């Protein structure tokens, strides 16, 4: 129950911040253009809280927190007197209307840039992308990747830590090849070409990195337990800190990766576990838990300390963080556009779409890791919302922009009945996308 509340709280905070900043963009530019704003709403539906300010704008928080809107005085839906025409959105020059509509997505990109700027100033604990193991016969092995190699560049982009490698690989989903520059322990660099034609990446089961057949370096992990989480399946079964797991369901000897893989693949499974405690061996019954379709035990194994030369804190001063945050925001923008393009062409499966449940789970996970990771998640969600709103679908900002650009070029507005048809088609497309994303979310939750 506590995890659900935490996830829901993180989701509402993330969506609230991103949507509010988006709508503030419309509001701020509209006010600068002399347009009267009637309502600034965070959320849809019945207002839970509202207040009318001195400028006549009603500010409110509504019941459904999955969006928001700015309602402006508009001659198409309001009775506008001759004295009010200069404050009406519909009576503004087309370039002002374009600026007001474009402001929402632009403010999303600004929000992402600021979030990443703060993240980089706080500092992110990072690990150099040194390869631990390479699976025989895998895509990575066929390309010539070896244990101990450090990934220097992926398709020309510098990769200082594993997150950079992951983002670069996500952008290659649906492509036929990726080129890496790696460096061995002797400082010798070589270029590798990865054939991705047989790349079967399932984001619900493994990471992009693991799906290529490599694992990041990690220190030696033992099968003895350094920590047992309170109220976890392990604690309920009677496992204690210091216990050593020798085998599960008669399979032994086991290393930690075998144990982890077995538990993950068997949610809600009742297993017989052979344990050593204080020099004595005994068996106990353990029922694995289930999280997001995978089994879990709720323990932390003992391991060797991580080599200091493989870890660092990515941190910059206020000025140094500016170009870095700009570069990362641009990378997220190009990645989002690339994924949309590949969804349309079929190079990426629509099964990869996530809806509110997927976003909520992501928000909860990132928030639990700490502020810097939550800021990174906010940046990703903000960029995604900005790019989504720029799609040329009527009812979205991008659809309005298309109409206004056509008006600007031809010198007169698109006929009302044509706009109305477009809005209806746009609503159908948007509801279809939302339904598909929600279906994908539910499918991931149901084994």
Nearest to 302 by CA among 342, 367, 363, 244: 244
Q: What is the CA radius of gyration of the chain?
A: 26
Place of tokens 């990645």: 335
Backbone angles phi, psi at 353, to 5 degrees: -65, 140
Spatial distance between the Cα atoms of 132 and 150, rounded to a whole number of angstroms: 10
CA distance 440 to 197: 25
Residue 16: strand, helix, or coil: helix
Q: Distance between CA 63 and CA 68 in Å, rounded?
A: 10
Dihedral of the alpha carbons of 169, 172, 177, 182, in degrees to the nearest 10? -20
272 is catalytic: no
Instruction: Assign residue 369 a region (left: φ > 0; alpha: ψ between -120 and 50; beta: otherwise).
Output: alpha
CA–CA separation, 269 and 373 (whole Å): 32
Tell me whether residue 155 is exposed, middle or buried, using C-beta atoms within 10 angstroms of its C-beta: 0 to 12, 13 to 18, 19 or more: middle
The answer to whether 103 and 295 are in contact (CB under 8 A) is no
Question: Cα–Cα distances in Å, from 276 out to 270, 271, 284, 328?
Answer: 19, 16, 11, 48
Cβ(359)–Cβ(442) below 8 Å: no
**Does residue 4 contact residue 10 with C-beta atoms inside 8 Å?**
no
Q: Name the active-site residue from 23, 83, 272, 420.
A: 23
* Token reading at 176: 């036929």
Residue 41, class by beta-carbon neighbours within 10 Å (0-12 exposed, 13-18 middle, 19+ buried)?
Answer: buried
Burial of 266-302, coded b for 16+ CB within 10 Å and e otherwise, reads bbebebebbbeeeeeeeeeebebbeeeebbbbbbebb
How far is the C-alpha of 12 from the C-alpha of 139, rounded, in Å?
A: 40
The catalytic site residues sit at 23
């Amino acid at each position: 129950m506590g995890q659900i509340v935490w996830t829901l709280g993180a989701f509402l905070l993330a969506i609230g911040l991103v949507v509010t900043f988006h709508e503030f963009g419309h509001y701020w530019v509209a006010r600068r253009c002399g347009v009267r704003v009637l309502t600034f709403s965070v959320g849809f539906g019945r207002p839970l809280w509202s207040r009318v300010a001195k400028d006549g704008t009603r500010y409110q928080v509504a019941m459904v927190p999955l969006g928001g809107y700015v309602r402006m005085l508009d001659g198409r839906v309001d009775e506008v007197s001759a004295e009010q025409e200069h404050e009406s959105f519909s009576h503004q020059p087309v370039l002002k209307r374009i600026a007001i509509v474009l402001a929402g997505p632009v403010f999303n990109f600004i929000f992402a840039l600021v979030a990443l700027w703060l993240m980089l100033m706080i500092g992110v604990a990072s690990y150099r992308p040194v390869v631990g193991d390479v699976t025989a016969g895998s895509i990575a092995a066929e390309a010539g990747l070896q244990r101990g190699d450090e990934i220097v560049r992926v398709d020309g982009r510098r990769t200082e830590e594993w997150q950079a490698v992951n983002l670069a690989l996500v952008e290659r989903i649906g492509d036929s090849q990726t080129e890496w520059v790696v460096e061995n322990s002797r400082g010798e660099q070589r270029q590798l070409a990865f054939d991705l034609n047989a790349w079967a990446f399932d984001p619900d089961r493994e990471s992009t990195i693991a799906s290529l057949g490599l694992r990041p370096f990690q220190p030696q992990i033992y099968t003895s337990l350094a920590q047992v989480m309170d109220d976890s399946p392990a604690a309920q079964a009677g496992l204690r800190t210091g216990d050593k797991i020798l085998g599960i369901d008669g399979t032994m000897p086991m290393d930690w990766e075998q144990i982890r893989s077995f538990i993950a693949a068997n949610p809600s499974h009742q297993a017989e576990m052979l344990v050593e405690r204080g020099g004595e061996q005994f068996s106990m019954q353990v029922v694995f838990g289930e999280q997001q379709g995978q089994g879990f035990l709720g323990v932390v194994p003992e391991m060797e300390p991580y080599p200091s030369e493989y870890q660092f804190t990515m941190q910059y001063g206020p000025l140094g963080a500016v170009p870095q945050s700009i570069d990362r925001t641009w990378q997220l923008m190009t990645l989002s556009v690339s994924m949309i393009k590949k969804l349309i062409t079929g190079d990426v499966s629509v099964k990869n779409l996530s809806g509110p449940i997927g976003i909520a789970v992501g928000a909860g996970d990132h928030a639990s890791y700490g502020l810097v990771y939550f800021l990174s998640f906010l940046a990703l969600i903000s960029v995604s919302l900005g790019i989504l709103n720029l799609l040329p679908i009527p009812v979205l900002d991008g659809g309005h922009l298309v109409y206004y650009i056509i008006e600007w070029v031809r010198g007169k507005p698109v006929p009302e009945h044509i706009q109305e048809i477009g809005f209806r088609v746009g609503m159908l497309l948007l509801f279809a996308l939302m339904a598909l994303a929600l279906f994908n979310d539910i499918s991931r939750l149901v084994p």
